[in-house]
């Protein structure tokens, strides 16, 4: 009974996963191997160093003072919060671990005469993190606000919810099609409206300052619905009695939201945030179609770099290394989600 | 019950809701405007949000020539195939994990959990080489199979079957009915709501998937509509005309938007269940 699933699952997910790791240990040119299966060569960890390491890489205490001191402060604050009983210890240790990771990683730099072997990899990772850091809070706040406002079972609210959710079912290519032309300086609706108000059009998608913003706006527009739905589901689980009790203490409207809704939404909040981090870390379509990673690589993201390395540069080995890197990060977040979910139930 | 402040809230919220809808309306509106007008200006009437001058030209042209109808057909095949595959695989495996006892059951569950953590983006390169070895690229099975292997459906169905009461099953078993018949005649009909939910989730996913079709389908004849739309986007203004590209976008969105509007309850539930589970 379980065999059909297990066979397909093993062949098309588990086996490819291990094969990916295997590929990452090889010097593997897509075209060369296609013509001659023996053209690959086992190189051990060389691909890993070619992607992530460099020549004369050194570490110093305060190479980037902002991030490193920030990480130390974060760790200390978390430690204090844990001791004061404000934070669950598992979560606290996780944050401290991440802070130390930041502290360590940001201290690495190529010394005199040194360089990163792959100049584009770490900037790409940084762009991806920047994208996630901009998108996830925006989506979360807007969705939370909308869910709170729309949390009533009336026809009008239902229609409004539908309108906000509608963009969520469109495919990434339709979304980029719309927004590419929305942002177009000559034909775009955004430009038309700014011009009508006397502003000069911004060349959104090719301007270093605005390209990432354009991608983020597009993504927020696209993916607000699911977060809103999850929040609504979470809010419906909060019992009405709590609100009735709150009303006796004069907690209504905003107050009720702050003191009753928010504390009871903690679990949903975690789910929404982690889910979105996982989802948006894999951003590909928006960037690939709207900016091609440009201008000047400012919107280049990890999955697009993997795609390019594999299918434009034919360097499967290096691309596989990046895929493993992606898996480690995503797997980390999935594990957090599982652990937090377990703890609650 | 419905106070004045409630109506004020509705009106206040209607404004952002409208703004949210504007990009979609714009696509719809542009698709009904003639290309030669759009080449000059996209804001003829009301910032271009009202399709005047009006024409059906773009849609006729779309179906007269070009690949769009074929891509649409491919998408239907792939999405339906994937949905069917996921349903078959998930119901059987979900039932087995929820109700049947067999060896290595725990191992299977753990393997499935691990699978939930593997993102598609981490395996598309090895999958590419595998399908290249089989010589399967540019085929429907290449577009369908990798997505049937996703364990999320199995978990959804397992949860559902676990939640069902065992009474009916026990009664049937006492009558001497075999478990295969119980599965087919008793459990599957009961599981219909969960199956609809899973089917919609899968269909939406399949219809909108971009990365894997981009990697696997290199011949235009095997593009899905999502992929095809991407391929005509890059040179939209010059060759195809803005109106026609927008019309393709509208066509590409029709099935999913329609599905969403008809089965809204299921979609919303699918999203919240699928979302919180992974």
pLDDT in tens, B99-139: 888 888 888 888 887 888 888 888 899 999 888 888 888 88
Contacting residues of A for B115, CB less than 8 Å apart: 9, 13-14
pLDDT of residue A341: 66
Closest Cβ opposite residue A156 in set B10, B145, B183: B10
Indicate the range of A136-140, B149-153, B225-229, B234-238 predicted with least confidence.
B234-238
Contact A6 B118 (CB under 8 A): no
Q: Is the pLDDT of residue A284 over 70?
A: yes
**What are the pLDDT digits (tens) for A80-96?**
888 887 777 777 888 88
Nearest residue to A265 via CA among A223, A224, A227, A221:
A227
Instruction: Name residue, tokens 């595998």.
Output: B130
pLDDT of residue A83: 86
Average pLDDT over residues A225-243: 86
pLDDT of residue B44: 65
Q: Is the pLDDT of residue A167 over 50?
A: yes
Contacts of B55 (CB under 8 A, 6+ apart): B32, B33, B34, B243
Contacting residues of B for A152, CB less than 8 Å apart: 6
Contact B226 A173 (CB under 8 A): yes
Average pLDDT over residues A140-144: 94
Bin B163: left if φ > 0, else alpha if -120 < ψ < 50, else beta: alpha
Distance of CA A84 to the CA centre of its chain: 31
Indicate the range of A29-43, A117-131, B16-30, B40-54 predicted with least confidence.
B40-54
Q: Name which of B25, B123, B248 to mutate to probe chain A: the one with the most chain A Cβ atoms within 10 A of its Cβ.
A: B123
Rounded to a whole number of angstroms, the distance between the first and last alpha carbons of chain A is 30
Contacting residues of A for B257, CB less than 8 Å apart: 166, 169-170
Q: Name which of A12, A34, A171, A236 to mutate to probe chain B: the one with the most chain B Cβ atoms within 10 A of its Cβ.
A: A171
Contact B47 A330 (CB under 8 A): no
Average pLDDT over residues A263-267: 83
pLDDT of residue B82: 94
Q: Which fold has domain B64-277?
A: MetI-like fold (1.10.3720)
Rounded to the nearest integer, the mean pLDDT of chain A is 85
Which whole-number Å values give the CA distances from B118 to A5, B113, B121, B188, B211, in the listed order? 16, 9, 8, 29, 15
Q: Is the pLDDT of residue A202 over 80?
A: no
pLDDT of residue A335: 79
Average pLDDT over residues B200-205: 89
Closest Cβ opposite residue A2 in set B22, B96, B149: B96
At B67 the three-state DSSP class reads coil
Q: Is the pLDDT of residue B87 over 80?
A: yes
Contacting residues of B for A177, CB less than 8 Å apart: 27, 229, 233, 236, 245-246, 249
Give the separation between CA B157 and CA A214, rounded to whole angstroms: 39
pLDDT of residue B244: 85
pLDDT of residue A308: 92
Average pLDDT over residues A260-282: 86
Q: Where in chain B is the domain with CATH 1.10.3720.10?
A: 64-277
At A29 the three-state DSSP class reads strand
Contact A327 B118 (CB under 8 A): yes
Contact A13 B118 (CB under 8 A): yes
Task: Mark which residues 149-168 of B lie under 8 Å from A by CB.
Answer: 149-151, 154
Give the separation between CA A28 and CA A317, rounded to whole angstroms: 5
pLDDT of residue A131: 95
Residue B236 confidence class, pLDDT cut points 50, 70, 90: low
Average pLDDT over residues A252-272: 82
Q: Is the CB of B194 inside 8 Å of chain A's CB atoms?
A: no
Q: Is the pLDDT of residue A264 over 50?
A: yes
Bin B78: left if φ > 0, else alpha if -120 < ψ < 50, else beta: alpha
Q: Is the pLDDT of residue A222 over 80?
A: yes
The CB density around residue B55, as the number of other CB atoms within 10 Å, is 15
Residue B278 confidence class, pLDDT cut points 50, 70, 90: very low
Average pLDDT over residues B52-61: 81
Higher per-residue pLDDT: B272 or B202: B202
CB B256 within 8 A of CB B204: yes
Closest Cβ opposite residue A9 in set B20, B149, B252: B149
Contacting residues of A for B129, CB less than 8 Å apart: 19, 23, 33, 316
ipTM of the complex: 0.87
Cis omega (within 30 of 0) on the bond before B53? yes
Instruction: Give alpha helix (H) positions in chain A.
Output: 3-9, 15-24, 30-35, 46-52, 65-83, 89-105, 121-150, 155-166, 172-182, 189-196, 211-236, 240-248, 253-256, 262-264, 266-281, 285-290, 302-311, 316-344
Instruction: Express as a percent the part of chain A with pLDDT over 70.
Output: 98
Q: Is the pLDDT of residue A304 over 90?
A: yes
């Amino acid at each position: 009974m379980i065999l059909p699933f297990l066979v397909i699952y093993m062949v098309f997910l588990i086996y490819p996963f291990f094969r990916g790791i295997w590929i990452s240990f090889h010097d593997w040119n897509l075209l060369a191997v296609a013509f001659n299966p023996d053209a690959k060569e086992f190189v051990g960890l060389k691909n890993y160093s070619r992607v992530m390491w460099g020549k004369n890489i050194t570490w110093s205490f305060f190479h980037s003072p902002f991030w490193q001191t920030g990480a130390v402060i974060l760790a200390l604050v978390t430690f204090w919060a844990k001791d004061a009983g404000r934070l669950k210890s598992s979560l606290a240790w996780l944050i401290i671990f991440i802070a130390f990771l930041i502290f360590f990683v940001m201290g690495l730099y190529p010394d005199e005469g040194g360089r990163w072997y792959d100049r584009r990899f770490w900037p790409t990772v940084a762009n991806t993190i920047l994208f996630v850091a901009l998108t996830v809070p925006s989506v979360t706040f807007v969705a939370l606000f909308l869910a709170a406002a729309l949390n009533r079972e009336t026809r009008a609210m239902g229609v409004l919810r539908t309108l906000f959710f509608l963009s969520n079912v469109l495919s990434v290519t339709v979304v980029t099609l719309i927004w590419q032309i929305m942002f177009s300086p000559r034909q775009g609706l955004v430009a038309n409206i700014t011009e009508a108000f006397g502003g000069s059009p911004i060349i959104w998608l090719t301007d270093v300052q605005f390209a990432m913003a354009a991608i983020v706006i597009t993504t927020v527009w696209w993916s607000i619905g699911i977060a809103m739905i999850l929040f609504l589901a979470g809010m419906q689980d909060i019992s009405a009695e709590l609100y009735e009790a709150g009303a006796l203490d004069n907690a209504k409207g905003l107050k009720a939201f702050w003191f009753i809704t928010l504390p009871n939404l903690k679990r949903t909040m975690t789910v929404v945030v982690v889910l979105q981090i996982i989802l948006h870390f894999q951003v590909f379509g928006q960037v690939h179609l709207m900016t091609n990673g440009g201008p000047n690589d400012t919107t280049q993201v990890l999955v697009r770099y993997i795609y390019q390395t594999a299918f434009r540069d034919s360097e499967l080995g290096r691309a596989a290394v990046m895929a493993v890197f992606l898996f480690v990060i995503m797997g980390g977040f999935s594990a957090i989600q599982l652990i937090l979910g377990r703890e609650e139930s | 019950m419905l106070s004045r402040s409630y109506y004020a809230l509705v009106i206040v919220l209607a404004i952002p809701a409208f703004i949210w809808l504007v990009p979609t309306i714009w696509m719809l509106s542009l698709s009904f405007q003639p290309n030669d007008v759009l080449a000059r200006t996209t804001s003829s009437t009301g910032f271009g949000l009202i399709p005047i001058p009006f024409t059906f030209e773009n849609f006729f042209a779309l179906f007269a020539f070009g690949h769009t109808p074929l891509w649409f057909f491919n998408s239907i095949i792939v999405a339906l195939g994937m949905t069917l595959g996921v349903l078959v695989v998930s119901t059987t495996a979900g039932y087995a994990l929820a109700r049947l006892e067999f060896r290595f059951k725990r191992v299977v569950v753990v393997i499935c959990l691990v699978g939930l953590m593997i993102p598609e983006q981490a395996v598309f390169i090895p999958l590419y080489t595998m399908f290249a070895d089989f010589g399967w690229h540019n085929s429907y099975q290449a577009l369908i199979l990798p997505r049937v292997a996703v364990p999320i459906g199995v978990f959804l169905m397992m949860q559902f079957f676990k939640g069902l009461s065992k009474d009916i099953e026990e009664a049937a078993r006492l009558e001497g009915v075999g478990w295969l018949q119980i599965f087919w005649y008793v459990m599957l009909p009961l599981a219909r709501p969960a199956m609809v939910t899973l089917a919609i989730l899968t269909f939406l996913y399949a219809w909108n998937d971009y990365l894997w079709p981009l990697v696997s389908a290199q011949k235009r004849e095997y593009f899905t509509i999502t992929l095809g739309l991407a391929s005509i986007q890059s040179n939209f203004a010059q060759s195809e005309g803005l109106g026609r590209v927008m019309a393709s976008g509208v066509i590409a969105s029709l099935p999913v938007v329609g599905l969403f509007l008809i089965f809204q309850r299921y979609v919303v539930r699918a999203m919240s269940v699928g979302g919180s589970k992974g």
